[in-house]
Structure 1
Amino acid sequence: MDRAAKQELVTTLHDVFKDTGVIVVAHYAGMTVAQMTDFRKRMKEAGGTVKVAKNTLAVLALKETNSEGISKLFKGQTVIAYSSDPMVAARIAVKYSRENEKLVILGGAMGSNILDSASVKALADLPSLDELRAKLIGLLNAPATKIARTIKEPRAKLARVIQAQASKGEAA
């Protein structure tokens, strides 16, 4: 890789580290090409990206970003997974690491918050934005449903009483 290509990679990674929602750093030693391709494919389908870069270039790209604290994670064979949605990169990386023990989550960053591996796993287990929206809508609809049931209930009770009296009258 020539100097211009390295500079371009550092600039690109710097922009990524500056603008992404979450960055996950992992070791991938021992993974086959097919496994790495599968990991990249899953991440891309979910809206994230997987990048393998030289550690020195990644550390240079981290300078003057909110995520600068994760530079100590770049030792050995590291892979970077990132996405603008804070849940995607963490969820896919953790799920894949549970299926393939060769992908080891080291940590990451979410904005200026530095995450260890346990924090990345906890982030991956949180419900997605769509799930949270569905729960919120359910909570908002519940009172309206209860009000409608409460208003309708006295009439239903009255109808049952009348029906019971009518049944008694027919039986007698």
Structure 2
Amino acid sequence: MPTNEKQQQVAEIKERLTGSSGLIMADYRGLTVKEMRQLRTSVRDMGAVITVYKNSLAQIAIRELDMPNMDEYLEGPTAFVFTPEDPVATAKGLLAFAKEHKVFSFKGGYIDGQLVDAEAVKAIASLPSREELIAKLMGTMLNPLRNFMAMANAPAGAFARAVQAVADQKAAA
């Protein structure tokens, strides 16, 4: 019979999984307490949450939510990083942390309904952020308008330069 505490933890895991747009799982073995505190702070600053659960409780929650089997990623100590908003920004931050701390490594993840491995998490971290993509899209959409405005203003500008040249000639004479 599962204890009340374990049932509450399974319910918490399920709530976090359903309220997140992404989950990144990582191996944190070898990090000192200070480094783990630094990781928690940086993850919190990104708007994400990092926690450590027993793998068996996570497996129960995943099964109850009818999510894909993640048993291969749930071996050994696992840090669960829940990203409520932009998984790309969180993955970028975690990748930067992993570059500084070689013992921290990705196991895999579940991002936007897709099960991904460690290499895919690293590839996601190399993508531009949502804001960058929106800015690029807006720039691309505005380019034809800018070109049209420049073309429309060209005759008026040429006429103004011609009038100015005539005025300069008459003033010099």
What corresponds to 2:61 in structure 1?
Answer: 61
Q: 1:50 and 2:50 equivalent?
A: yes
Structure 1 gap segments, 5+ residues each? none
Q: Distance in 1 between matches of 2:163 and 2:38?
A: 67
Give the number of equivalent residue pairs.
171
Provide the residue aligned with 1:133 in structure 2. Answer: 134
Change (3 A) 1:22 1:66: farther
Correspondence for 2:15 = 15
Partner secondary structure for residue 45 of structure 2 = helix
Structure 1 CA distance, aligned partners of 2:90 and 2:71?
A: 18
Asked if residue 104 in structure 1 is aligned to residue 105 in structure 2, the reply is yes
1:90 is aligned to 91
CA apart distance, 1:165: 4.5
More moved, 138-147 vs 4-13: 138-147
The answer as to whether partners of 1:26 and 1:106 remain within 8 angstroms in 2 is yes
Deviations 1:35-87 (A, max 9, x none): 11111111111110001111111111211335432222111121111112232
> 1:25 is matched with which residue?
25
Q: Deviations over 1:86-116 (max 9, x none)?
A: 3243222222112211111011111431101
**TM-score (norm. length: structure 1):** 0.88
CA–CA distance in structure 2, aligned partners of residues 104 and 28 of structure 1: 7
Query: 1:15, CA displacement in angstroms?
Result: 2.0
- How far apart are the structure 2 equivalents of 1:58 and 1:16? 11
Deviations 1:102-147 (A, max 9, x none): 1110111114311011111111121222112222222222222222
Aligned residue number for residue 145 of structure 1: 146
What one-letter code is carried by the residue in structure 1 that aligns with 2:50?
A: V
Secondary structure of the residue that 2:70 maps to in structure 1? helix
TM-score, with normalisation over the residues of structure 2?
0.87
Mapped contact 2:63–2:69 kept (Cα < 8 A): no
The sequence identity of aligned pairs, in percent, is: 28
Q: 1:87 to 1:66 in 2, by over 3 A?
A: farther
Equivalent-residue separation in structure 1 for 2:145 and 2:66 (angstroms):
44
- Which sections of structure 2, spanning at least 5 residues, go unmatched? none
Match of 2:118 in 1: 117
CA distance 1:67–1:125, change in 2 (3 Å): farther
Asked whether the 8 Å contact 1:67–1:109 carries over to 2, the reply is: no
CA distance in 1, matches of 2:32, 2:99: 16
Q: CA 1:80–1:109 in 2, change beyond 3 Å: closer, same or farther?
A: same
